[in-house]
């Protein structure tokens, strides 16, 4: 994962009193793919029939806009953008969530009236019932559980690659993130853990998660998987771990952290 802060290159702003002669454009299509020209961001959108354009602040000293259109050519998946340019990817993780928010809240979810964009805040409000609609982020936990010099990994039925992965899951309404970790581990693997430690987080726009990464130690119980969501789970020594193809995710960072701290 990228360890630098998005704010090293980005100044958040949503006031439309911008001066946009010098700008970068994050142009997405209907598949959430990003347009790049010569592996860089375009500085014009003249070639596109655009559906909307939103000012979101300054990126590397230029005004930065999110745009949506329906074209397909020269667009790259977010994973491909990560391989092409890490700085653009990091900014795109925010830009794509702003795009999704704007598209998804054109009408009020409570009463169906067409919403209006706020002048100062990144907010769509309903002129009829007053409901406000902000970009939606879904917090999720991921945990590296250690038992001696081994790491717990599980095979999820929904993973396309069928590789072993760390235990992860969404935070449920009403629970703390720590409670979410204990519940997910108990539900998916059937064991108890101790010494839960928060490590770091990552915005994960697939589609809209905030990943909160933890480490923990095995406490008690036998591995027992449900056979439905989790097919198998077992303890891996560092040499047995099958690494991912990409280091894009915080999951890879946690596995690397385990290996580095297991000399
Ligand atoms: Zn409403």
CA distance 90 to 236: 31
Instruction: Give the Å distance between the CA of 104 and the centre of ligand 1.
Output: 14
Tell me what the mean pLDDT of segment 49-60 comes to. Answer: 95
Cis geometry, peptide bond prior to residue 207 (ω within 30 degrees of 0): yes
Selection from 194, 170, 182, 187 nearest residue 224 by Cα: 187
**How many whole angstroms from 131 Cα to the centroid of ligand 1?**
5
Tell me how far apart the 2 most distant CA atoms of the chain are, in Å: 63
Distance 114 CA to ligand 1 centre (A): 8
Centre of ligand 1 from the C-alpha of residue 172, in Å:
25
Question: Cα(79) to centroid of ligand 1, in Å?
Answer: 36
The rounded Å distance from CA 133 to ligand 1 centre is: 10
From ligand 1's centre to the CA of 98, what distance in Å? 20
CA of 121 to the centre of ligand 1 (A): 18
- In the reported structure, the alpha carbon of residue 127 is separated from the centroid of ligand 1 by a whole-number distance in angstroms of 7
Distance 113 CA to ligand 1 centre (A): 5
User: If you average pLDDT over residues 42-55, what whole number do you get?
Assistant: 94
CA of 129 to the centre of ligand 1 (A): 4
Q: Which residues pair with 233 in a beta bridge?
A: 154
Token readout for 12 is 């958040």
> 126 CA distance to ligand 1 centroid (A)?
5
Residue of 72 and 108 predicted with greater confidence:
108
Q: Parallel, antiparallel, or unpaired for β 62-69 and 150-156?
A: unpaired
Q: What is the predicted pLDDT for the residue at 18?
A: 67
pLDDT 10s digits, 153-207: 999 887 766 689 999 999 999 999 999 999 999 999 999 999 999 999 999 999 9
Give distance in angstroms: CA of 120 to centre of ligand 1.
20
Reported as a pLDDT band with limits 50, 70 and 90, residue 14 is confident
Q: What's the 132 CA to ligand 1 centre distance in angstroms?
A: 8
Examine the pLDDT at 144 and tell me if it is beyond 90.
yes
Q: Ligand 1 centroid vs 60 CA: distance in angstroms?
A: 37
* Residue 19 pLDDT > 70: no
- Per residue in 77-99, pLDDT (tens digit) is 999 999 999 999 999 999 999 99
Instruction: Give pLDDT, residue 17.
Output: 65
Report pLDDT digits (tens) over 210-250: 999 999 999 999 999 988 888 899 999 999 998 888 999 99
Reduced to 3 states (helix: H, G, I; strand: E, B; else coil), residue 161 is: coil
What would the mean pLDDT of 120-144 be, rounded to a whole number?
A: 96
């Amino acid at each position: 994962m990228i360890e630098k802060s998005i704010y090293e290159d980005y100044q958040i702003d949503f006031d439309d009193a911008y001066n946009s002669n010098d700008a970068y454009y994050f142009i997405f299509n209907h598949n959430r793919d990003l347009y790049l020209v010569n592996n860089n961001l375009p500085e014009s959108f003249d070639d596109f029939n655009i559906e909307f354009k939103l000012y979101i602040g300054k990126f590397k000293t230029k005004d930065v806009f999110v745009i949506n259109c329906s074209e397909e050519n020269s667009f790259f998946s977010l994973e491909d953008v990560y391989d092409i340019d890490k700085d653009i990817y990091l900014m795109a993780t925010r830009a794509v969530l702003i795009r999704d928010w704007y598209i998804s809240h054109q009408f009020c979810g409570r009463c169906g009236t067409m919403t209006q964009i706020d002048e100062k805040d990144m907010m769509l409000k309903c002129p009829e019932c007053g409901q406000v609609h902000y970009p939606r982020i879904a917090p999720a936990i991921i945990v590296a559980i250690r038992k001696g010099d081994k790491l717990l990994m599980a095979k999820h039925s929904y993973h396309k690659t069928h590789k072993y992965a760390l235990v992860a899951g969404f935070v449920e309404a009403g629970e703390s993130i720590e409670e979410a970790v204990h519940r997910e581990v108990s539900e998916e693997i059937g064991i108890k853990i101790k010494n839960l430690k928060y490590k770091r987080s990552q915005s994960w726009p697939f589609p809209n998660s905030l990943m909160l990464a933890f480490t923990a130690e095995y406490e008690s119980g036998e591995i027992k998987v449900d056979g439905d969501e989790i097919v198998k789970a077992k303890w891996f020594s560092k040499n047995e771990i099958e690494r991912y193809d990409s280091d894009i995710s915080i999951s890879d960072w946690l596995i690397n952290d385990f290996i580095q701290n297991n000399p």
